[in-house]
Chain A
Amino acid sequence: AQSVSQHNHHVILSEAASLELGCNYSYGGTVNLFWYVQYPGQHLQLLLKYFSGDPLVKGIKGFEAEFIKSKFSFNLRKPSVQWSDTAEYFCAVNAMMNFGNEKLTFGTGTRLTIIP
């Protein structure tokens, strides 16, 4: 079964700092990769996704992520964070092995706190 690891449980940064959140997955086959964000009290929103093609994907709000197949990684980056980026971030994987179940396997999440 696939699994997802997010090594940073809580990250605290000042505004304008650069951000990189780690995500590693375990599955040797074809995967679809996602980053979701959950702002306080709100539901999950899709930040970006990778299905195929260019391994550097750009999402909303200035976020980007790079898929490195050899490292089984899909790290999230943002060059300059804002206070409004304070939220919880989830990496998720869909391993295309379970026909009919579009299940997403989520990491445990990284809580990001931006200090003004």
Chain B
Amino acid sequence: RKEVEQDPGPFNVPEGATVAFNCTYSNSASQSFFWYRQDCRKEPKLLMSVYSSGNEDGRFTAQLNRASQYISLLIRDSKLSDSATYLCVVIPGSGNTGKLIFGQGTTLQVKP
């Protein structure tokens, strides 16, 4: 089983739609979780951290489900500029050893 798994998509949605991505992780001791965004031929950039209580940043909501070992990202009112690849990132184990494990990424295409 891969350490971090994502559905690669692509997800094709119209502007204004709500879309959700899930990501599963295999190491139950993992403590830190993030969503990164990567535009075509660019470097990944942090979109948001994922906290145990869930967190929201504007149109973006991230949730953590430890029991089922998955994290989710919800995007409301999709914009054309949201088109990108969304990477799920996990720091496995307890403490921060600096080892970030990336999922394959989920590609989102928002259409006019």
A, B bound: no
